A and B are shown apart, each in its own frame.
Chain A
Amino acid sequence: MEEFPEELRTPPVALACLIGCPEVHPLITAHLHSQQPPINAVALPDFSMIPPKKPPRDTLEPPAGIIKRDWFSKHRTRIPAVVAAIFSSRDVSGDPAQRLQVCNDLDKLKASIRGRNIKLGVLVVTKWNDKDNTSEERILALRKRAEIDSKNLIIFVPDHEPELQQCLSRLWTVLGELANTYYRDEGRRVRSRLEKKNYSSMELNVRYCFKVAIYAEFRRDWLEALKLYEDAYHALREMVGTSTRMPPIQRLVEIKAVAEQLHFNMSMILLHGGKVLEAITWFRQHTANYRKLVGAPEVIFLHWEWLSRQYMVFAQLLETSSPNALHVPSTAPVAEEKPTEWEFHPAYYYQLAASYLKEKNTCLEFAISMSVDVGSFDGSAESVVASAYLGQYSRLLEHEDAFIMQPLTDMEYAHYALAEGKRFKDSFEIIALLKKSFEAYSSSKAERTAAYCGLQMAREYFSLNDFSNAKQIFDSLANLYRREGWLLSLWEVLGYLRECSKGMSSAKDFIEYSLEMASLPETTGFSESFSKDCGPAGPATPSQREKIHKEAFEVARGESELNSDEQNSAFKVKSDYPIYLEIDVISPLRVTLLALVAFHQPMVKPGGQSLITISLRSQLPINVEIDQLEVQFNQSECNFIITNGQKPLSSTDIVQPGHRVETAPDLVLATNKWLRLTYDIKSDLSGKLECIYVIARVGPNFTICCRAESPALINDSPLWKFENRLETIPIKDPGLALSGQKAIQVEEPEPQVDLILHSSGPALVGESFILPVTVSSRGHAVHSGELKINLVDTRGGGLLSPRGEESFSSENIHVELVDISCDAPQDQSEAPSDKIQKIQPSFGLISVPSLDMGESWSCKLKIKWNHPKPIMLYVSLGYLPRSDEPSLQKVHVHKSLQIEGTTAVAINHRYMLPFRKDPLLLLKLKSISETDQTPYLALNEKTLLIISVKNCSEVPLRLLSMSIETEVKSDACTIQPQQEEFREAVVNMPGEEFKKVFTIIPKVKSTKLKIGNVSLRWERDSNATSSQVTKYRLPDVNVELPLLAVSLECPPHAFIGNPFLYSVKILNQTEILQEIKCSISDSQSFVLSGPHSDTMLVLPRSAQVLTYMLVPLGLGSLQLPRVTVASVRYSAGLLPSNASLLVFVYPTKPHVDLKPPGDA
């Protein structure tokens, strides 16, 4: 696009001319330029500088060309549409001489512009102060002299800002209108010639259309401009076959140059108006119109250059256009064929521009090679210049101090074009275009389209002998085509890569690419006749593959040199430069050589023999004879070599001493046929035996190292997926072919040592559980023995309690290994440094002393359960049966044991009030409805605490002592007894419950009073273990002062007919008088005396006793009359429980000796 001048690339701007008063020019110019639409201005300081009138042109003369090269720039920069004559008010209203001068200047100006139809405006510059002094008459006279409308005369006041802005704005409007009128008139003038068909030749038709279009563009009438450009374009196209004005080659060049210009202008208008679809349709028509017009054969390259430029310029336009900058009405018809998606992308056009430029290059090279005498014209080529008309060239001759333009003949022009063509190298431009396109496609994630660009780019690099760049791109392309299985494309790219590696003297790459090409599947439908169209690889025919195969092996065997024509260097594979190819699972060379290895058994005993089958397959077109095969394992002692029975082992073959060598009858790889080799293999080492590599040696310096694969896991490459070929199985046994593995498990030797874990039932939480472990040898001696102990949670969780993970203390570990105690080794001579003992909470390691056959050794594991949790104990012993062979692998014995951890005792507690005593605790009453379960105790009142101990284990336990330990030594409460050692241990059988009563008298009023911990010491009844302590924390209690305390008093038993006293004592502990309502219900079993229902007042800090005399009438356990006590103040009443109202009535006084036996 840069080859088009600036004025063509931007929308046209009207041109005005300012004459006179140069001091105001900058002001006006800047303003006109800043407006929208802007007006350019040419400033002439003086009226003396008005150019003279041009002599009239001879219209009968036939046109020398279609469009003058500078016509457009002339209108944009030199011929104004409007002239503004500027006079100062002093001159206008000055003395007669000054006025005369003004009139003369004006006349001169009018005379100059009259022929050209240029419009005139007049400015009178005045000072703000003199504004009113300027005579109206003089102004009128001036206007009449200038023959202009009154609105076209402006009084210009530069020294007053508001007035100045107004003047400038008016000036811009007036000049704009006048310019528009000028362009419209001019357009009409030329258009009338068109309408009357008043032109003598086709050239003039095109020229007139072009001019009218340009004038319309000046007026921003885009619709008309487009229409006229279109007319010009069509008229021009018709000229191709009809015009005879110039020699044919130059005629076509001129027509194409004009067509290019017209199309450029149209595209600009359409694209800036956002009419992308129309622009694309036009472009397609444009290229279709001219693509076939290649012209004379000797300058055919000019055509391709022109076409390439069309694409490139359009791409640039598409890239840079900002849509909707102009408002262009829709005109162009939408094509029947919709543009493809890519046609909206500049990348598409860049790519095609590059491909046409490539075409040009090819034609140019051909043209140069055909014309031997290009050089003879070289000297005079410099004198050829572009002539006045667009697309024309002529020779500039100096004749008697004057320059004459002499037309060229076609032959001269062709020579000139060839010489010009030779001067430029297009390859870099082609690469730059393709790179742009490649990047654009890549960024829009069109990988495959980008790949096609990449291919063209890489070809160009290749043609420039820039092999490293070419190879890089070709490599990435090969990856894509390989992945998607596009055979022919891959073949083509590999052919280039092969040549690149040749150019870079890289024998390894050359062989790799050659082998890959040779082993590609055959393509159908190709015959030798296409060979001239193919790349360096030639056609993808079987014979070509065989040729490539042979070449590769000749180079690999060192039989021929790798010649690089460009660098004139030769490379030969020899012992200094061996070739080593590695083929792994993802390598494209897998089809060249695939090595499958399968063991016949999945497992083998150490020292036992197993069969192994090595299957090799190649897709190379010709049979390959392998000199030697080496099979490598992860256990290097098992490696072995297979030699070719047809070839004697030469001195150059690498055979390491001590290695096993097998001989196969022949090692020939036929196309798509498995070469199966089966051998015995033996391993003494236990563990995994895996085949890693199968290394094939062909010739002295060529090695292919192929990673072994399992038949069970083989997957075919996409290239071969749909090929019509005979599928054979790699191993004769079909089962093995499907499931064979390249690795085998060598078992450990059978252990001859027993590991015994003595379990003694479940463990109890809190105790240190002792577990004896015995190692006893049956048939092996034990050397360097190690015992590993692992504690694992059976349910999969950790042994740490969740909250304990950050603070690692013994309390937070559910189960821990505390200690390992072992017998002293019998052999004292063992060095102490050999003893290992590591103990961690869940892991332990201890060394086992050397044991001879038949000996045994034991140790005790001490495991402590902090929380009830079942665990799995894993104990493994690793030892060497012989002490003299440290390289041997250890023998392992594993044992595991699940141990339950259970809670030994469950402790519970209960608070009870003393019999027939009820303190009134207000807070307790309130809290009944709430969820708070904290017990309430009465201050200074006795409360009973019952601790019950239940044996949850499966073994009898002996309880030794029980105590309540207060956390802080304080007098907050009194507990009796504090501690009790049982004189005889209480045997608590499984499931049994044992209860102990304590009394508590709280001394401090408090909420959340800490009572302390119950501490119970117990041991197993078997006496085998030491005593353990289980602790139980008593929950906090609320202590409250009872406001009232009611106690019922009556004898424990009564006798029928005998009266007894039944009293209700109400103690008021408050400082206020308490009103108490009291009532007693009647009972059939008793006759009672006393107040039946009463209200009484209890004085502060005093007690009131209600006494009843009861006579029992019945026998046995009788219910006493129910007494109800209610406090009026607290709305609280006491209903004594049924149990507290029972009394036993004897018929007579029993004759039981209640005295203790000792007292008798």
Chain B
Amino acid sequence: MASTACFMIVSKNDIPIYEAEVGTVPKKEDAAHQHQFILHAALDIVQDTAWTTSAMFLKAIDRFNDLVVSVYVTAGHILSFVMSDFIIHTRLMLLHDSRNEDGIKSFFQEVHELYIKASSVMFYNLI
């Protein structure tokens, strides 16, 4: 089954630092540029929700018709990373239409691991 998905990493100051269309087939009516607007709008709710829970995976926090926004907030907002300040409060956002929550969670965890590895490299100036 064809699925739509747009993945994005948003830095702590709300600037997107990585984005990728990861779905198999982008649907005709859901223009790709629309995804950015939807993900951007969802940031508001992420901001509120992230402080109400200690969980990193925020599940589906916003909906737009069939599209669902799932978010994974890195632990920076609870723990203070001394060495790698730029990992703090980074949000991994996925806009998708499938309901496979576990799959999405493990995807996020994998990306988070890779992201920490990449950004912990010394002299890797992300900011």
Q: Judge whether B113 is part of the interface by a CB distance below 8 angstroms.
A: no
Q: Judge whether B49 is part of the interface by a CB distance below 8 angstroms.
A: yes
Contact of B126 among A486, A535, A722 (CB under 8 A): A722
Contact B15 A484 (CB under 8 A): yes
- How would residues 38 to 74 of chain B score, 1 for a CB under 8 Å from any chain A CB and 0 otherwise? 1011111100110000000000111101000000000
Contact of B40 among A337, A340, A489 (CB under 8 A): A489
Contact A448 B44 (CB under 8 A): yes
Chain A residues with CB under 8 Å of B38's CB are 452
Contact A481 B40 (CB under 8 A): yes
A355 to B33, CA, bound (A): 16
Contact of A449 among B20, B36, B45 (CB under 8 A): B45
Contact B63 A533 (CB under 8 A): no
Contact of A341 among B17, B31, B33, B61 (CB under 8 A): B61
Q: How large is the interface on A (under 10, 10 to 19, 20 to 34, 35 or more residues)?
A: 35 or more
A721 to B63, CA, bound (A): 30
Q: Judge whether B76 is part of the interface by a CB distance below 8 angstroms.
A: no
Chain B residues with CB under 8 Å of A747's CB are none
Chain A residues with CB under 8 Å of B34's CB are 533
A872 to B107, CA, bound (A): 73
Q: Judge whether A1075 is part of the interface by a CB distance below 8 angstroms.
A: no
Name A495's closest neighbour in chain B (CB-CB): B33
Contact of A530 among B14, B32, B43 (CB under 8 A): B32
Chain B residues with CB under 8 Å of A352's CB are 65
Contact of B15 among A488, A491, A534, A721 (CB under 8 A): A721
From known contacts A525-B20, A718-B13, infer whether A489 and B37 are also in contact, taking CB-CB under 8 Å: yes
Q: Judge whether B97 is part of the interface by a CB distance below 8 angstroms.
A: no
Contact B61 A340 (CB under 8 A): yes
Q: Judge whether A492 is part of the interface by a CB distance below 8 angstroms.
A: yes
A349 to B60, CA, bound (A): 18
Contact A341 B13 (CB under 8 A): no
A449 to B45, CA, bound (A): 9
Q: Judge whether A485 is part of the interface by a CB distance below 8 angstroms.
A: yes
- How many whole Å from B57's CB to the nearest CB in chain A? 14
Contact B48 A488 (CB under 8 A): no
From known contacts A451-B40, A485-B15, A533-B33, infer whether A337 and B60 are also in contact, taking CB-CB under 8 Å: yes
Q: Judge whether A526 is part of the interface by a CB distance below 8 angstroms.
A: yes
Contact A340 B63 (CB under 8 A): yes
Q: Judge whether A655 is part of the interface by a CB distance below 8 angstroms.
A: no
- How many whole Å from B95's CB to the nearest CB in chain A? 13
Contact B60 A489 (CB under 8 A): no
Chain B residues with CB under 8 Å of A721's CB are 15, 127
From known contacts A447-B44, A448-B41, infer whether A489 and B36 are also in contact, taking CB-CB under 8 Å: yes
Contact B36 A446 (CB under 8 A): no
Contact B41 A449 (CB under 8 A): yes
- How many whole Å from B18's CB to the nearest CB in chain A? 8
A492 to B33, CA, bound (A): 8
Name B26's closest neighbour in chain A (CB-CB): A530
- How would residues 711 to 749 of chain A score, 1 for a CB under 8 Å from any chain B CB and 0 otherwise? 000000010011000000000000000000000000000
Name A486's closest neighbour in chain B (CB-CB): B40
Name B38's closest neighbour in chain A (CB-CB): A452
- How would residues 512 to 551 of chain A score, 1 for a CB under 8 Å from any chain B CB and 0 otherwise? 0000000000011110001001110000100000000000
Contact B49 A534 (CB under 8 A): no
Contact B44 A449 (CB under 8 A): yes
Contact B15 A535 (CB under 8 A): no
Q: Judge whether A342 is part of the interface by a CB distance below 8 angstroms.
A: yes
- How many whole Å from A724's CB to the nearest CB in chain B? 11
Contact A535 B62 (CB under 8 A): no
Q: Judge whether A455 is part of the interface by a CB distance below 8 angstroms.
A: yes
Contact B32 A341 (CB under 8 A): no
Contact of A525 among B21, B45, B48, B61 (CB under 8 A): B21
A298 to B45, CA, bound (A): 39
Q: How many residues on chain B are close to A (CB under 8 Å)? A: 33
- How many whole Å from A717's CB to the nearest CB in chain B? 10
A481 to B39, CA, bound (A): 12
Contact B45 A341 (CB under 8 A): yes
A530 to B17, CA, bound (A): 22
A180 to B40, CA, bound (A): 55
Contact A488 B33 (CB under 8 A): yes
Chain B residues with CB under 8 Å of A722's CB are 11, 15, 17, 126
Q: Judge whether A1037 is part of the interface by a CB distance below 8 angstroms.
A: no
Chain A residues with CB under 8 Å of B19's CB are 523-525
Q: Which of B61-92 contact A (CB under 8 A)?
A: 61-63, 65
Chain A residues with CB under 8 Å of B20's CB are 525
Name A355's closest neighbour in chain B (CB-CB): B65
A534 to B19, CA, bound (A): 18
A355 to B43, CA, bound (A): 20
- How many whole Å from B63's CB to the nearest CB in chain A? 6
Contact B37 A534 (CB under 8 A): no
Contact A484 B14 (CB under 8 A): yes
A341 to B61, CA, bound (A): 7
From known contacts A342-B62, A446-B45, infer whether A486 and B36 are also in contact, taking CB-CB under 8 Å: yes
Chain B residues with CB under 8 Å of A822's CB are none
Chain A residues with CB under 8 Å of B63's CB are 340, 342-343
Chain B residues with CB under 8 Å of A899's CB are none
Contact A533 B40 (CB under 8 A): no
Contact A535 B37 (CB under 8 A): no
Contact A487 B32 (CB under 8 A): no
Contact of B31 among A447, A533, A540 (CB under 8 A): A533
A485 to B10, CA, bound (A): 10
Contact A451 B41 (CB under 8 A): yes
Chain A residues with CB under 8 Å of B44's CB are 441, 446-449
Chain B residues with CB under 8 Å of A355's CB are 65
A709 to B60, CA, bound (A): 46
Contact B40 A452 (CB under 8 A): yes
Q: Which of A443-463 contact B (CB under 8 A)?
A: 446-449, 451-452, 455
Name B22's closest neighbour in chain A (CB-CB): A525
A1104 to B15, CA, bound (A): 108
Name A487's closest neighbour in chain B (CB-CB): B16
Contact of A342 among B31, B45, B127 (CB under 8 A): B45
Name A456's closest neighbour in chain B (CB-CB): B37
Name B101's closest neighbour in chain A (CB-CB): A337
Name B19's closest neighbour in chain A (CB-CB): A525
A355 to B126, CA, bound (A): 38
Chain A residues with CB under 8 Å of B40's CB are 448, 451-452, 481, 484, 486, 489
A342 to B64, CA, bound (A): 11
- How many whole Å from A105's CB to the nearest CB in chain B? 63
From known contacts A340-B60, A340-B61, A352-B65, infer whether A486 and B16 are also in contact, taking CB-CB under 8 Å: yes
- How many whole Å from B22's CB to the nearest CB in chain A? 10
- How would residues 563 to 581 of chain A score, 1 for a CB under 8 Å from any chain B CB and 0 otherwise? 0000000000000000000
Chain A residues with CB under 8 Å of B61's CB are 340-341
Name B127's closest neighbour in chain A (CB-CB): A721
Chain A residues with CB under 8 Å of B11's CB are 722
- How many whole Å from A716's CB to the nearest CB in chain B? 11
Chain A residues with CB under 8 Å of B41's CB are 448-449, 451-452
- How many whole Å from A185's CB to the nearest CB in chain B? 46
Residues of B within 8 A of A (CB): 11, 13-17, 19-21, 26, 28, 31-34, 36-38, 40-45, 48-49, 60-63, 65, 126-127
Residues of A within 8 A of B (CB): 337, 340-343, 352, 355, 441, 446-449, 451-452, 455, 481, 484-489, 491-492, 523-526, 530, 533-535, 540, 718, 721-722
- 28 A-B pairs whose Cβ atoms sit less than 8 Å apart in the complex: A337-B60, A342-B62, A441-B44, A448-B42, A449-B41, A455-B37, A484-B14, A484-B40, A485-B14, A485-B15, A486-B15, A486-B16, A486-B36, A486-B40, A487-B16, A488-B36, A489-B33, A491-B33, A492-B33, A525-B19, A525-B21, A530-B26, A533-B28, A533-B31, A533-B33, A533-B34, A540-B33, A722-B126
| Additional pairs, 17, CB under 8 Å, beyond known A446-B44, A533-B32, A540-B33 | A446-B45, A448-B41, A451-B40, A452-B38, A452-B41, A484-B13, A485-B14, A487-B36, A488-B33, A488-B36, A492-B37, A523-B19, A524-B19, A525-B19, A530-B32, A535-B33, A722-B126
The 4 A-B pairs of least Cβ separation, nearest first, read A533-B31, A485-B15, A452-B41, A446-B44
